[in-house]
Structure 1
Amino acid sequence: MVRIVVFDSGLGSLSIITAIQKICKSEIIYFADQKNFPYGKKSKKELELIIKKTLNLLEEKFSPDLIVMASNTPSLMVKTKNKKIIKVYPPLREAMNLSKTKNIALLGTKTVVASKSLSNYIKKFNFPKVNKIYKINSSLLVNLVESNKFITNKLISRKIIKKILNNILKNKIDVATLSSTHLSFLKPLLELEFPEVKFVDPSYIVAHKVLANIENNNSKKNTLKIFTSGNVKQFQNNLIKLGIKNKVNFLST
C-alpha cells in the first residue's frame, strides 16, 4: 500500500487529504504540527528550522513514499531537495485564465504575502503589466478555521470575512486564489459573501500531482492515521465537529 504523509500546522491538510482520497486509494498519515501553528507568522529562518526537523521526523517514523507539504507558506519559503516532497503553490495561472478583468486576489498568510519568495514566484509567470495581483493578508481567516469558529459561529466568521476582504474584492477582482490550505474550508462562506468572485482552490491540483507520482499503486482502500504535536483532546474535538472520528495520536517534534 502506498504511504503518503500530509502535514501542515493544523487543519489545512484536510482539504488536501479529501482531494487525494477522492481520486486514489492510499494509506495517509496526517500530521498536524499544531505546536508550531501558525506557520504564517513565522520568519523564514524559523520556518526553515521547523520544516527541516519535521521532515526528518516524518521520514524516520513513517518511511513514506510521498510527503505532501500541505501549506503554501513553507512551500514558497523553504527550499528542499527531497524528491518525495510535493508542495502546494498559489494557483495563479489557473486564476488568471479564469479572470475576465485580469485583476485577481491572492489570499495568503501574513508571512507569505509580505515575502520576497512570493514576489519571485509571481515573476516566474511573466504576466503582462496590465494584469494585477492583489496580495491579501488572510491570517485572521486562517484562525477562523483552526479555532473552528467557521462552524461554531458563522455570523462572526462572515463579519470578519467581510471586514478583511470587502474593500479589495470590490476592486474589479473577479477571481481569488485560496493560497492557504485552511481557506478551502471557508469557500462556502466566501462564495456566499462574494457571489461575483470565483475562488480557486489548489487542492485538486496537488491531488493530481500525488496521483501522477504513485503510478504503481496497488492500494485497495483509503486509510487515515492522525497525529498532532499539540493538544490531542482539543484537536480530537475539533475534528469531530468536522465529522472526522478517527483517533488522534500525539507526536512530539
Structure 2
Amino acid sequence: MPKIAVFDSGLGSLSVIKPIQKRTRSEIIYFADQKNYPYGTKTVSQLDKIIKNTISKLQENFSPDVIVVGSNTPSLLLDIEKKDKIIGVYPPLKDAALKTRSKKIGILGTQVAVQNKALDKYIKKNLSSKITVAKINATPLVDLVESGKFILQKQQTKKIIKKIITPYVDDGIDIFTLSSTHLPFLLPMFKELFPKIVFLDPADSIAKQIAKIFERKVPARRKLKIYTSGDAVKFQKQLSKIGIKNTVSSL
C-alpha cells in the first residue's frame, strides 16, 4: 500500500489530506507539528531546521513513499519543489490567471510568506506582468482556524474575514488564492460573505500529483494515522470538534 506522509504545524494538513483520500487509496501519516506552530512567523533559517528535522523524523519512523509539506510558507521559502519525493503546496496562480476577469488576484497567506521575496519570485515566474497581485496577510484567519475559534465564534470570525478581504474586493480583485492550508476550513464563510468572488484551494492539484505517482497501485482500503509533536489528548479533542475520531499519538 502506498504510504504518504503529510505535515504542517497544525490543522492545515487536513485540508490537503481530504482531496488525497478522494483520489488515492493509501496509508496516510498525518503529522501535526504543533510544537513549532506557527510556521508562518518563523525565520527562513528556523524553518529550514524545522522542516529538515521533521522530514528526517518521518522518513526514519515511517519510510513514506512521498512526503507532502502541507504548508505554503516553507514550500515557498525553502523551494520544496526541487527536493526528491517531497511535494510542496504553492499558490495556484496559473489557475487564478485563467479565471480572473479583472486581471487582479489576491494571495491570502501568512505574514512571513507574503512579505518574503520568495513569493515575489514565484509570482514573476508564474504570472504575466499584466496581472496585478495583492499579497495579503491572513495570519489572523490562520490563528482562528488553529485555535478552533472559527467553530465556536462564527460571527466574530466572519467579522474578521470581512475586515481583511472587503478592501481588496472593493478594489476589483475577483479571485483569491487560499495560500495557507488552514484557510480552506473557512471556505464556506468566504463563499457566504462574498458569493461573487472565487476562492482557489491548491489542495486538489496536490492530490492529482500524488494520484499520478500511484496510479498503478490500487490497495484495498484507505488508512489515516495521526501524530502530533504537541499535546495528543488536547489535539484529539480539537479534531473531534470537526468530526475526526481517529486516535492521536505523540511523535
Equivalent position amino acid for 1:215 in 2: E
Distance 2:83 2:106 in 1: 31
Equivalent position amino acid for 2:160 in 1: I
Q: Which residue does 1:232 correspond to in 2?
A: 232
Residues 31-58 of structure 1, C-alpha deviations (whole Å, 9 max, x = no match)? 0000001101111111001001111111
Residues 172-225 of structure 1, C-alpha deviations (whole Å, 9 max, x = no match)? 111100000100110110111111210001110000011111133131111000
Kept in 2, the 8 Å contact 1:93–1:125? The answer is yes
Alignment of 1:39-188 (within 5 A): 39-80=39-80, 82-128=83-129, 130-188=130-188
Distance 2:52 2:169 in 1: 36
* 1:165 CA displacement: 1.6
Kept in 1, the 8 Å contact 2:97–2:127? The answer is no
Kept in 1, the 8 Å contact 2:9–2:36? The answer is yes
- Identical aligned residues as a percent: 50
Kept in 2, the 8 Å contact 1:144–1:157? The answer is yes
Q: TM-score, normalised by structure 1?
A: 0.96
Equivalent residue pairs, number: 250
Kept in 1, the 8 Å contact 2:107–2:134? The answer is yes
Q: TM-score, normalised by structure 2?
A: 0.97
Residues 91-116 of structure 1, C-alpha deviations (whole Å, 9 max, x = no match)? 00101111000111000000000001
Query: SS state of the match for residue 28, structure 1?
Result: strand
Distance 1:137 1:126 in 2: 20
Q: Which residue does 2:208 correspond to in 1?
A: 208
* 1:126 CA displacement: 4.5
**Unpaired segments of 5 or more residues in structure 1?**
none
Distance change (3 Å), C-alpha of 1:126 and 1:144: closer
Give the ranges of 4+ consecutive aligned residues of structure 1 lying more than 6 Å apart after TM superposition.
none
Query: SS state of the match for residue 124, structure 1?
Result: helix
Give the superposed CA RMSD: 1.0
Alignment of 1:2-13 (within 5 A): 2-13=2-13
**Unpaired segments of 5 or more residues in structure 2?**
none
Q: Which residue does 2:250 correspond to in 1?
A: 250
